[in-house]
Chains A and B, each alone.
Chain A
Amino acid sequence: MKAAIILFPGSNRERDALRAVEKIANAKPSVVWHGEHSLPAGSDLAVLPGGFSYGDYLRCGAIAARAPVMDAVRAHARRGGLVLGICNGFQILVEAGLLPGVLMRNANLRFICRMQHLTVERADTPFTSNYAKGQIIKVAIAHGEGNYVADAETIARVEGEGRVAFRYCDARGGRNGDANPNGSVNDIAGIYSERFNVLGLMPHPENLIDPLVGGIDGRGMFESLAAFKGTPDQGTFGYRRSATPSAAPFMLNRRRAACFNFFHADASATRRPTPG
C-alpha cells in the first residue's frame, strides 16, 4: 500500500500518522505539501493528520479544505481511494464536503486532552476489519472543536446507512451522556462516506500503536489498512488506482519525505497482531 500524508501549515501530528502508516500499515508513506495539485502516482491512502491548520482561522479546517491538494484528495476519493482524516483532518474533510456535518466548539468550551473509550461500530470496512464489531477501544482525544453537528435529516441518513464508525463510550461501553466528551450528536466520534472509503474521526488511533506510550488500541486501524486488498471495481469497498500517474510531483514528495527518514530505521520490524 502507498500512503500520502498531506501536510498543511499548522499540521502537527503528521509524524505520528507517518509512523503508524509505515510501521503498522506496512505502507510506503510520502509527505505531500498542501500546495501540490496531485498525489503521488498509485497512492492507495491519503491521510489528513491532526493539528491546527492555518491556526484554526475562520473555522477549523476551513482554509485547509480549500488548498490545492484537496482537489487531488477529492478526485482520489471519487475514484474510491482511501482517505483517513484524524482530528483536524476530520474537520478538513467536513469543510471540504467529503463528509457531511460539521465540528463545532466542544459543548463545555474547553480543549479536552485525555484518554477516551470508543465503540467500534462496524468491523467490515478497510479501516476496522481487524477490530471486532462492538469492540471497546481506548485511545487519545485532544481537541477543542469535536462536537459533531448535522441537521436531523443528515443524522438520520448517516445512522440509517450505518456510517457511524466510532462512538464515545465509557470503559464498559456505556453511553449515558457522561462518556461523551464534547456534546457530539449520538456520541459520534467518527463517520464514513457513503462508499466507506473516507473515514473522519476526532480521536487519535495513530498515537496508540506502542505500549511504551500507554496502549496499542489504535493499531487495529492500521492493521486493517495493511490487510485491505482493494482492487479496481471490486465489491463495496473496492477502489481504483490513479489512472494518470505523474512522476514529477512524486519525486518532489520523496525529497520532502527525506526529512522523516529517522522513522524509517526500524521499518523492518515485524507486525504483531492486536489481542482481541
Chain B
Amino acid sequence: MKARVVVTLKDGILDPQGKAIEGALKSLGIAGIDSLRQGKIFEIELATNDPTAAEGVLRAACEKLLANQVVENFQVEIFSNFASGGLPEQANMSEENITGT
C-alpha cells in the first residue's frame, strides 16, 4: 500500500521561499499566477494493506515528525490499489484523505 503526505505552511505563515519562486516565475514571463506557496511531499510505502492501520501510522508519522504543526498542515492520501512501480493511475485509485491542522 502506498501513500503520499503533503505538508504545507499554514495560512498567514510567511513563506519567503514561495515568494522567491513566485517572483522568478513572474520574471520568466509566466503570467496568471496570483500567489504560490512551497510545501513538501513524502511518498511512502506501507507494510500494511489495511487502510485503517495505514491511517494510524501516517497520522502518527505526521504528528510526530513530518509536520511541525506550529506552522504546517498535513494532508495524507492513501492508495489501496496501484500499478506496480509508481503511484497509481487516477482510474484505479482509492483515496482517503486525512487532514491535520
Contact = CB atoms under 8 A, between A and B. Distances in A.
Contacts of B65: 58, 62-63, 66
Give the dominant DSSP class at B's interface.
Answer: helix
Interface in A130-169: 147, 149-151
B14 A62 contact: no
Interface in B1-51: 13-14, 16-17, 20
Interface residues of B, number: 11
A44 interface: no
A58 B68 CA distance: 10
Interface of A: 58-59, 62-63, 66, 94-95, 100-102, 104-109, 147, 149-151, 183
16 contacts: A59-B68, A62-B65, A63-B65, A94-B70, A95-B68, A100-B70, A102-B71, A104-B13, A104-B14, A105-B16, A106-B16, A107-B16, A109-B17, A147-B14, A149-B14, A151-B70
By Cβ-Cβ distance, the 6 closest A-B pairs, closest first, are A102-B70, A109-B16, A102-B71, A105-B16, A102-B68, A59-B68
Contacts of B70: 94, 100-102, 149-151
Contacts of A106: 16
B75 to A, nearest CB: 17
B13 A149 contact: yes
B21 to A, nearest CB: 11
A107 B14 contact: yes
Nearest to A150: B70
Nearest to B70: A102
Given A101-B70, A104-B16, A109-B17, 5 more contacts: A58-B65, A105-B16, A106-B16, A109-B16, A151-B70
Nearest to A65: B65
B41 to A, nearest CB: 13
Contact of B71 (A104, A107, A183): A104
A58 B65 CA distance: 9
A66 B68 contact: no
Nearest to B66: A58
B55 to A, nearest CB: 22
A147 B71 CA distance: 12
A58 B71 CA distance: 14
Contacts of A183: 14
Contacts of B13: 104, 149
Contacts of A102: 68, 70-71
A215 to B, nearest CB: 30
A108 B19 CA distance: 11
Contacts of A101: 70
Contacts of A59: 68
Interface string B42-64: 00000000000000000000001
A102 B70 CA distance: 7
Contacts of B64: 66
Given A104-B13, A104-B14, A109-B16, A149 B68 contact: no
A109 B19 CA distance: 10
A97 B13 CA distance: 19
A31 B68 CA distance: 29
Contacts of A94: 70
Nearest to B42: A58
A105 B64 CA distance: 21
